[in-house]
Amino acid sequence: MTANKETMTIAHWVANYGTPVKDAHDWCALVESQLERAKAEKADVLLIPEYCSEGMLHYAPADLPPTGEVEWMAGQAQIVQPILQELVKKTGVALVAGSMPWPHDSGNGFTNRCWFLFPDREAAFHDKLVMTPFEKDPASWELEVGKDVKIIEWRGFRLSILICLDIEMPILSCKMSMLDIDLIFVPSQTSKPSGYHRVFGCAKARAVEMLTALAVVGCVGAPTLAGKKRDTYHSGASLYLPCEEAFGYNGIWAEIAVSPGKELPGDMLISRDVPLGKIRAIRHGEPEVWPGPWNADGVEIKEAA
């Protein structure tokens, strides 16, 4: 664990969804190995990708139709979530547990939920706010949207989560810039390099707009259902900071470049000693040009004469 409470060390697991697992407990053992890997690196948090539950499709029923995948994965999520919580307490490493389908709080349908599990406080979660066409398609997954963004206080820091397409919505950064957030975690899943560049490019922009840190990770490889490989995912991992001289100018603290992934179970990026306290001090003090939280109040949009 990071001793200096002004910093945080984050392990980003670029999970390869082609890693075979036999059942829910085997999948949890895979995550445990990554938690132990993060612990050895003295990481405070392990961040894993969106829809990590797709890695469980290796042992799904062979006749599972696309319209049944969300419900099946949600069932697996409810099995593994309490196991993951115990693993977090065992290792002492907090877990931003990617995302998995989860029964919607309304009792109707399912949401795309990311659990944030801690060794020393109660769990929190974020339900994805903005859905892709695939996530809205009745012929495939058809998930329900979340309704809020949570601010999570932990070890003196103000943290939050946005999932994949959420981070591409600038209006969210306008609202969230008012909340004095120290770090936003972004689990993602992107099929093509174009998707990676949308998510990661927007995350870097949010670091500038909000003068905060962004930890981003995606998945690689191809999950397998009934012995058949699905599309290959492309992604990487990054830790973005505001583009200030104090942080090395370019806003990149650490990164793994986009790829389709080769190694099993996937690469790990260690973003060591991320200077969250120093970022906060600049946010509250004298940034180079950042005007502070700004929502364009009083600005009119007009057609030119």
Which pLDDT band holds residue 2 (cuts at 50, 70, 90)? very low
Chain-centroid distance, C-alpha 240? 13
The helix/strand/coil state of 131 is coil
Full residue range of the structural domain in which residue 256 is found: 8-284
Q: Is 290 domain-assigned? A: no
Q: 166-195 pLDDT, tens per residue?
A: 999 999 999 999 999 999 999 999 999 999
| pLDDT value, residue 226 | 81
| pLDDT value, residue 21 | 97
Q: Is 62 domain-assigned? A: yes
- Report helix, strand and coil shares of the chain as percent, to nearest 5: 30, 25, 40
**Mean pLDDT of the chain, nearest integer:** 96
Flag whether pLDDT at 153 surpasses 60: yes
DSSP string, 193-212: HHHHHHHHHHHHHHHHHHTS
On the 0-12 / 13-18 / 19+ scale of CB atoms within 10 A, 278 is middle
- When pLDDT is averaged across residues 141-149 and rounded to a whole number, the result is 95
* Pairing relationship of beta strands 8-15 and 45-48 according to DSSP bridges: parallel
Flag whether pLDDT at 196 surpasses 70: yes
| pLDDT value, residue 4 | 55
Which pLDDT band holds residue 41 (cuts at 50, 70, 90)? very high
Report the number of distinct structural domains present in the chain. Answer: 1
Q: Is 296 domain-assigned? A: no
Q: Is 295 domain-assigned? A: no
Q: Is 292 domain-assigned? A: no
What is the domain-level CATH number for residue 236? Answer: 3.60.110.10
Tell me which residue of 74, 53, 77, 49 sits closest to 195, measured CA to CA: 49
CA distance 193 to 180: 32
